[in-house]
A and B are shown apart, each in its own frame.
Chain A
Amino acid sequence: MTDTAGRPVVNFEALFHQAPCGYLVTDDGGRIAAVNDTFVRWTGYSRTTLLGTKLQFLMPVGDQILYATHCIPQLGITGSVSEIAVDIVGADHIRRPALLSASRFAAAGQESGSIRVIIFSAHERRLYETELVSALRAAEESDAKRALAEQELRRLALHDALTGLPNRAGLKARFGAAPHGGTRERKSLAALFIDLDHFKAVNDSLGHSAGDNLLVSVAGRLAAAVQASGAVARLSGDEFVVVDEVAGTDDATALAASLLDVMAAPMHLEGLEIVISASIGIAVAQGGGDTVEDLIRRADIAVYRAKERGRNRWELHRPAPSDPAVDRLRALGELRRGIGEGALRVHYQPRIDLRTGRASGVEALVRWQHPARGLLPPSEFIAMAEESGLVRPLGAWVLDETLKLAESLRRNDHGAGLEFAVNLSARQLNDPGLVDMVEGALERRSMDPALLLLEITETALMSDPGAAVESLNALKNLGVGLAVDDFGTGYSSLTYLKKFPVNELKIDRSFIMGLGLDTGDGAIVGSCIDLAHAVGIRAVAEGVETSGQAQALQDMGCDLAQGYLFARPLPVPQLREWLASHA
């Protein structure tokens, strides 16, 4: 059928009532004046109930606020709103997610103003969008939390809580671990190690809080006396270090003399006037070989001489003439021989699940039974092994020994399900043969990869993070677990760390040592644990020595712990006994 103009005749009333969405007309104040069958059916209200009701009263209060503050002004000013997400509460009190679009028609002549509204159900779309938004919010929140934790952790880790000065790690962060020489503008780096004279007497006679006040004011004096290129740090107790660029040794000794003067000015503590003095050891970088760490060590040696020679004075450290190349070759020969002659052995330190108090696994630690120096820990020879390439066979041997032990322990009840942690060095991490080596060892000993945990130090990870991610991913694909060792000492970017596929964070023992001593370490340890949990991995404490520390760790929710409190690293026979008696 067509009308006289040839347009098809449409039943507009049917179109209105049977439209696939709700149609409503309201007056300018929002009261419903007409409503179609679809909307009546969808909401379950009777038409008489709806007519005269304000449209926004069909929405929950939250939607009403948004409607009143945003949509009504928009309708009033621009004449329309589109796809506003609202809920319509039906007669059954159930919320129906919907989208609302509306146009406003202003009063004209006899006609009063009206608003034409369409409302359509948007259940699926709302679910989908709600999910997206909550994912977005969760990501925003965890990002913000992580950034805060990172910032705070960094600050805590690099500063001394009492004086606010950088600590040893802070000093390293400032000057880097690279060697310093006398190249830039012909200046060299110098370290002045400052040890207060008779500080213990002040502490003993006036009390710890007076002692603390004294340290704070010394810190202030030193900081004021050092120029912007330099830095003042507090290492521990009454030991401070000043690191600065100097033109030569004369410059360094003049700085030391001026610092002695600064310290000599009287200070007031607990109403008493006190004059303190200090002994200073000086070390100046030579040629190009000294790191800040080296300088501090050398200055530390010099400060002892200053003390011996009567205090309140400085001493300059002059390195003894020796040929490091010869020393190194001799040591390397000994190590090579040691490996060949079976002087290396692996000890195992139990790792305790703090929730159950039972051993969850062991960490393999290599030892060198040196003919003259006794049993040496890895710190004494691993660096050398790394430099010479000996670390490759050494690492493979330690892994195989450990998996061999795992295989034999599996055969008795005490060993079932134990995890075995083995350390990887930086050099091993960059070794292209590493993954094959690990895979071969696992196969040879029929080891469940999930029970092997490889530990890599934070410093090794950060030396070439890009390459590390690749190696770690390859290891991860084998199914082995990965742990970041000595966490907190490498001042790495945690943002980067998040990219490593690690399962475990091992908090460095130096922080555990200070637990409960009001040194700020508690906050660091707590932050590390929270951080680990925030990224969904385990937190492990190493170097736990007292039950107080264990309790504190347990209270902070730390997952695993190891340390002398539970067991020292044990040779295999003792380990078997320990496991049997702690089963």
Chain B
Amino acid sequence: MLGALTAEAVAKRNNVTVLGRADGPVMLFAHGYGCDQDMWRRLVPYFAADYRVVLFDHVGAGHSDLDAYDREKYGTLDGYATDVLEICAALDLADVILVGHSVSAMIALIAAAREPERFARLILVAPSPRYTNDADDGYVGGFSHEDIEGLLKSLDSNYFAWAEALAPMAMGNPDSPEYAEELRSSFCRTNPSIARHFARVTFLSDSRSILDRVQCDSLILQCSDDLLAPPEVGTYVHQHLGHSTLVHLQATGHCPHVSAPEATAGAILQYIGPRP
């Protein structure tokens, strides 16, 4: 039953962080695969003055409660969507602007399909409803099954680097001293076994059927040169998602909120309208 968890329990499980203007409209940020809430650091300053910013780590990532990782629950994206809804319920968030990056764009859509009244807008950053090509209907997601097997291998190669105790010490960068060494060594660290499972769930899932079940207004942010979400995929999402707006960002790569935070924030602010 949603709402059955206390704010404390959810905060511990998902390492929930609340920032910004306490009485502002709510923006909830859901990070994508391979990272945690730290990846929003460059984007959050554009919103903290006017919005109540809620960040969290998916279970298994960052500083979430690893003991809460249940392979069955998190065996589909639905389990992650449940957590998003539980965070909303526990913190009593209403009219939420939900920002989801990469796989969390799909998690956001699943959550919005389940509880439409909870969300005001969805911001989908570099979304892809299916990463692998589908030979049956000709859908192009960009990857073959072998590519995803390759990713799992790559994760295994980094197993020891990701295992907390054996991780290499970053030597630091004299050019960006503002971040503490602690962040350098803990950034987006994850339990290697969970990372592997999450990779399977993320990259072998097919969420295309959720698109036409979402009525919420949504913004699709499409980057150029994005290995994970090529332009055709953004167009596909736009065509199948009612009430959606597609914006091509002046940003390259898969993480515009990291590489081009100003352009990303600008596009979001323009979409959600004048500041309150």
Chain A residues with CB under 8 Å of chain B are 28-30, 56, 60-66, 68-70, 72-74, 76-87, 97, 101, 103-106, 126, 129-130, 132-134, 136-137, 140
Contact = CB atoms under 8 A, between A and B. Distances in A.
Nearest to A76: B258
Which 6 residue pairs are nearest across A and B when measured between Cβ atoms?
A62-B150, A69-B34, A79-B176, A76-B258, A79-B173, A70-B34
Residue from B147, B158, B184 whose CB has the most chain A CB atoms within 10 Å: B158
B204 interface: no
Contacts of B203: 65
Nearest to B148: A62
Residue from B143, B171, B172, B175 whose CB has the most chain A CB atoms within 10 Å: B175
Interface stretch (B5-13, B47-55, B249-257): B249-257
Interface stretch (B35-43, B88-96, B107-115, B212-220): B35-43
B69 interface: no
Contacts of B226: 68
A76 B171 contact: no
A78 B253 contact: no
A66 B55 CA distance: 23
Given A62-B152, A64-B227, A77 B41 contact: yes
Given A68-B253, A87-B154, 8 more contacts: A29-B252, A64-B227, A73-B258, A74-B35, A78-B179, A83-B161, A83-B168, A101-B171
Contacts of B141: none
A56 B203 CA distance: 19
Interface in B139-198: 143, 147-161, 168-173, 175-176, 179, 183-184, 187-188, 193
Nearest to B184: A78
A85 B179 contact: no
A104 B176 contact: yes
A104 B187 CA distance: 15
B255 A73 contact: yes
B33 interface: yes
A63 B150 contact: yes
- The dominant DSSP class at the A interface is helix
B225 interface: yes
Interface of B: 32-35, 38-39, 41-42, 102, 143, 147-161, 168-173, 175-176, 179, 183-184, 187-188, 193, 203, 225-228, 252-255, 258-259
Contacts of B159: 129, 133, 136
A62 B183 contact: no
Given A66-B158, A68-B253, A69-B254, A80 B184 contact: yes
Given A62-B154, A66-B34, A66-B154, A72 B175 contact: no
A126 B157 contact: yes
A79 B179 contact: yes
Given A66-B158, A130-B157, A82 B170 contact: yes
A104 B157 contact: no
Nearest to B228: A68
A132 B158 CA distance: 12
A65 B199 CA distance: 10
A469 to B, nearest CB: 31
Nearest to A60: B150
A105 B183 contact: no
Nearest to B254: A68
A62 B259 CA distance: 22
B102 A69 contact: yes
A137 B159 CA distance: 11
B178 to A, nearest CB: 9
B126 to A, nearest CB: 10
Given A65-B203, A78-B179, A140-B193, A73 B188 contact: yes
Nearest to B150: A62
Contact of B147 (A65, A72, A79, A82): A65
A73 to B, nearest CB: 5
A62 B149 contact: yes
B42 A77 contact: yes
A105 B227 CA distance: 23
A44 to B, nearest CB: 21
B152 A69 contact: no
Contacts of A134: 156
Given A28-B259, A65-B151, A84-B158, A79 B175 contact: yes
Nearest to B227: A68
B228 A80 contact: no
20 contacts: A29-B253, A60-B154, A61-B150, A62-B148, A62-B153, A62-B154, A68-B255, A72-B259, A78-B176, A78-B183, A78-B184, A79-B176, A82-B171, A83-B168, A85-B158, A85-B161, A103-B175, A126-B157, A133-B160, A134-B156
